Structures are given as C-alpha cells and as structure tokens.
Structure 1
Amino acid sequence: MRARRLDALTAGDLQMRAAIGSSVDQLGPSTRQLSRRLALVEDPTFVAGLAAALVGAPRWRAEDMLDELADLDLVQPAAGNRYALRGLLRLYAEAELAAHEPPAAREAARAAADRWRVPMSSSPGRPGAGVRRRSRRFPSPGRPARPGLLRGTRRAAARG
C-alpha cells in the first residue's frame, strides 16, 4: 500500500517515482547506494556519521554524499548538522533498497549502523544522550570567585 503512493501521485504529466528517479539517476554509485540505505534509518533525523556507517565510508565522504543528496532535494538538511529523509523520498528509498540490495547487504548495513550507535549511547537524563561528540580539550568553566555576589546585588537593586 505504501509503495503504491509513489505510483499514484503525479506532478503534471510526470509520476513522482519518475521525478525522484531522474534526480537519483544523476548520482554516482556510492551516493546512490547511500540514498537507498538511508531507508534503514528509523529516526526522524540522522548525522553524517551514521550515513558513513551505512555505506562503510569515511565521515568526510558521507558528508560530501549527503551534500550532493541535499543539492538534489533527496534529503533535507535539519537542525544541528543533521539530515532527514521524509515522505515520498523515504518511500522511494525503501522501494529501491528492496529492489537493488539483497537481504544480506541490508542486514550488514543495519548491523554497521547499530555498531556505530553503540558507543554514542549514553545514560538517560545525561545531556547529549544519543549524540556522538568528538573529544574536545576545552577547560571546564570554573566556579565563580564569589557566587553570592551577583544574587546579593540583584536583591539590593530590587529593594532600592
């Protein structure tokens, strides 16, 4: 039923499947593979690291591929250096994944994505849970020299 939605929708004289396909036909083989495998991402948005895991590419290469997909409107940029695959584009990717990749390849890509997610998971309630962060060597902010000074100043100003 979901896959039929692509065949039923038209834009002018052009079927949506053909319209999306004409953009996908402009992609190189590895970017085309990524466009299909993004259908395996169940979250509403994803980062380049996850995309890299899906195709076994370095992160910088996945970023380039995602930029190419975004230029063709096959993925949408989202907040926080994230991307989204929505609506009919997701349906198209799902259909292409089923048509062009054997179950073993789909499972291998899914397993690689799961392995990528494991180190980035963190305990619930912790800031940034589920977000992979690069190690940065920034000093942690120290405590203010006189923590009560600011509060005391505000109280005095409110009374005065």
Structure 2
Amino acid sequence: LFRPVHPVELNLPKPVFLTVSRVAPEKNLTAFLDIDLPGSKLVVGDGPMLSELTRRYPDVHFAGTQSGDALARYYAAADVFVFPSMTDTFGIVLIEALACGVPLAAFPEPGPLDVIGSSKAGHISDDLREACLAALALDPQDALDRSRAYSWDACADIFLKAVAGAIEPSVEQAFRLAV
C-alpha cells in the first residue's frame, strides 16, 4: 500500500513537512508545530487535541484522519516526514513514510534511531528544526531503499533466522545428551 504514488493535490507552499499521528499530548506535536520552517506544515490524524491545535495554529493544514490509498497520497505530497514523538518505541508511520520515499526528521529516540540506523534516510537531532532542514537535502531514493529493510520478505527472513538460532542450540544440546 505504501509506495511512491501520485501525491494528493494540496496547493500548499513547498516544501511540505508532514506528520501523521494521533493528535494527542503524548505525541509531542507542538514541538513540530512551534518551529519556524519554510513552506507548509501538514498534520494527518485526529484526536483529543485536534480542535485546540487547529485554533492555535491557523497556518497549519490539518487533513483529519486518512487511510489506505488516500494516506499514501498524503505521504507522497510531503518533502519531509516529521516525527516529534519522544515516547513512541517504534512508530510504524516512519516505515510508511520511507516506503513512500519521504526522508525523516526526528529526535534521537529509540524508534527513529532504530529505523533510520546508519542510513541516509533521515536526519536525527535534538534540534527538530535542524533535523527538518537537513532532511530536506536528503535523497528520497535513500528513504525508499531503507524501507526495504522492513519489507514483508525482510521481516520473514529476520523471523526465520531468529527461529533457526533458537532451534539450533536446542538440537545440538539434545544431540550431546544422546551421545
């Protein structure tokens, strides 16, 4: 579902900085919405803070909840995916953005650190504005390439290697006991 597709037409000034999230306090969206960035900020999602943030940030485009192909088209319309959360342990939206060829900007937290790793698919910094601006200069192909580490085939290979690693010592141990 998440792949480079034709973007939704937003008619927003470029570059477009996107976040996809539940609009709730624990997602730290204000860290993104408060920073001064060129272009436009786009928030896809719904939650208990939506009406408050819509009032507080009239220059931000709030697209509400999107799913399926429509959500993939929102990712495709972005130049940078911004992940302001400091509490998420993984963040599947990071993988969705990468699969659409969108570089990431995030704080140095476990989820983004694990997903971006040593790749050139995103920029991580304690200064989210710096991360956003640096991510603008990244090649979308690097984001797309990094997403392949999380494909179904890649996940199956990781699982099978883990199972094999768990079984082999047991088989070897059973063989030693029998001899």
Could you say whether these structures have the same fold, taking a TM-score greater than 0.5 normalized by the shorter chain as the test?
no
Please identify which structure carries the higher helix content.
Answer: 1
Greater Rg by CA: 1
**TM score, norm. by length of structure 2:** 0.22
Please identify which structure carries the higher strand content.
Answer: 2
